[in-house]
């Protein structure tokens, strides 16, 4: 392996430590940040995520409020809970775990969250604010990826960045963040032609496809920085969207899976909760946590 390993696990641990320090300072002022997580149904992966979100929230000294609703909960009941959390001054951040059961309108539920408490950054107002360069709540996985990129490269200005995947959760907000940092951004998706050639021109590759080992080693420009967002369960365990063994021979720096972007996501959720708390109390944004 010639590439530098981008250690998201250790970066996230440092970030959580800084968040815990900010939280302790807020508590001295009588303010305890609070994150409410709502889980509808029994999706096994969602249950694991919600459990570790709650655990890490408590570990940083914040209040964690968990709401579990049965899968057949009527949408109106979920909306009523969201309305209640919107009004609760102890709750600074609200996260409704996706995916929601099929009978619910995800967009309607997300857009019912007060934008200032939308720590996932999926509310239409936050999407618009990010796209227009206003202060927004930024989706956690792209935010974590940006932090790793800035830490690795310093300035992203003028770099050719290729985002593979155009989801609302990862690809699109990632592209917006890279644009904000003055990278030249290309978004590739399932209908893109000549992806390998496109990839060979990229100084930065963000893979968010959801297909194991999709990005091959010979697609990578020598020295490029590769951020692998993919999480794919295979017979060999968890693997990313990038063929790590081959790509790490060519790239300048690369995130592993697991231990790369994954741990950054929950750390950024806590960072967003802290930012939301600061804004709700008229305090400046905690340093280094907002792009």
Q: Are 156 and 183 contacting, i.e. CB atoms less than 8 angstroms apart?
A: yes
Binding of residue 170 to ligand NAD (CB under 6 A): yes
195 binds ligand NAD (CB under 6 A): yes
Taking the complex as a whole, the smallest distance from the CB of residue 208 to ligand NAD amounts, in Å, to 4
Contact between 265 and ligand NAD per CB under 6 A: yes
Task: To the nearest 10°, report the CA torsion of 54, 277, 109, 136.
Answer: -120
Instruction: Give the residue with the Cβ less far from ligand NAD, 91 or 215.
Output: 215
Catalytic, 120? Answer yes
Q: How far apart are the first and last CA of the chain?
A: 32
Contacting residues for 180 by C-beta, under 8 A, at least 6 apart: 130, 133, 291
Active site residue 176: no
Is residue 167 annotated as involved in ligand binding?
A: yes
**Spatial separation of the C-alpha atoms in residues 65 and 50, rounded to whole Å:** 11
Single out the segment in contact with ligand NAD by CB under 6 A; choices: 59-67, 98-106, 123-131, 259-267. Answer: 259-267
The Cα 272–Cα 134 span in angstroms is: 15
Tell whether residue 154 is among the known ligand binding residues: no
Q: Of 26 and 162, which CB lies nearer to ligand NAD in the complex structure?
A: 162
Binding of ligand NAD by 173 (CB under 6 A): no
Binding mask 201-240 for ligand NAD (x = CB under 6 A): -------xxx------------------xxxx--------
Minimum distance from residue 20 beta carbon to ligand NAD (Å): 21
Tell whether 248 is in a known binding site: no
Interface residue with ligand NAD, options 190, 193, 197, 287 (CB under 6 A) = 190
Give the nearest residue (CB) to ligand NAD: 167
97 is catalytic: yes
Residue 141 or 277 having the CB closest to ligand NAD: 141
What is the nearest approach in angstroms of ligand NAD to the Cβ of residue 241?
Answer: 6
Decide: helix, strand or coil at residue 8: helix
Within 8 A by CB and 6+ apart from 33, the residues are: 23, 26, 62, 63, 92, 93, 273, 274, 276, 277
Query: Is residue 262 within the footprint of ligand NAD (CB under 6 A)?
Result: yes
What secondary structure, in 3-state letters, does 12-59 show? HHHHHHHHHHHHHHHHHCCCCCEEEEEEECCCHHHHHHHHHHHHHHHH
Which is it for the CA torsion 143, 165, 208, 253, positive or negative? negative
DSSP bridge pairs for 187: 163
Q: How far apart are CA 188 and CA 36, in angstroms?
A: 34
The answer to whether residues 243 and 270 touch, using CB atoms and an 8 Å cutoff, is: no
Contacts with ligand NAD by CB under 6 A: the residue count is 23
Q: Is 164 annotated as a binding residue?
A: no
Q: Which CB atom, from 91 or from 268, has the smaller least distance to ligand NAD?
A: 268
Active site residues per annotation: 53, 97, 120
Interface with ligand NAD by CB under 6 A: which residues? 141, 164-167, 169-171, 188-190, 192, 195, 208-210, 229-232, 261-262, 265
User: Would you list which residues are annotated within the binding site for NADP(+)?
Assistant: 165-167, 231
User: Would you list which residues are annotated within the binding site?
Assistant: 165-167, 231
């Amino acid at each position: 392996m010639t590439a530098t390993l981008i250690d998201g696990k250790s970066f996230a641990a440092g970030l959580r430590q800084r968040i815990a320090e900010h939280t302790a300072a807020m508590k001295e002022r009588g303010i305890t940040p609070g994150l409410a997580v709502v889980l509808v149904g029994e999706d096994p992966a969602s249950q694991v995520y919600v459990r570790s979100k709650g655990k890490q929230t408590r570990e940083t000294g914040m209040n964690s409020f968990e709401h579990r609703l049965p899968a057949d909960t009527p949408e109106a009941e979920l909306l009523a809970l969201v309305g209640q959390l919107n009004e609760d001054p102890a709750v600074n951040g609200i996260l409704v775990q996706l995916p929601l059961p099929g009978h619910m309108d995800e967009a309607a539920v997300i857009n019912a969250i007060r934008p200032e408490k939308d720590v996932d950054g999926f509310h239409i107002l936050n999407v618009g604010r990010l796209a227009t360069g206003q202060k927004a709540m930024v989706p956690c996985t792209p935010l974590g990826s940006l932090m790793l990129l800035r830490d690795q490269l310093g300035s992203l200005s003028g770099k050719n960045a290729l985002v593979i995947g155009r989801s609302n959760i990862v690809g699109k907000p990632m592209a917006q963040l890279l644009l904000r940092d003055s990278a030249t951004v290309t978004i590739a998706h399932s209908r893109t032609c000549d992806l390998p050639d496109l990839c060979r021109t990229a100084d930065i590759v963000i893979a968010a496809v959801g297909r194991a080992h999709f990005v091959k080693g010979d697609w990578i420009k020598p020295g490029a920085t590769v951020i692998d967002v993919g999480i794919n369960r295979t017979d060999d365990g968890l693997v990313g969207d990038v063929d790590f063994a081959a790509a790490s021979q060519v790239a300048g720096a690369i995130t592993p899976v697991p231990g790369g972007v994954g741990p950054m996501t929950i750390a950024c959720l806590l960072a967003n909760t802290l930012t939301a708390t600061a804004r709700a109390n008229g305090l400046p944004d905690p340093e280094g946590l907002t792009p």
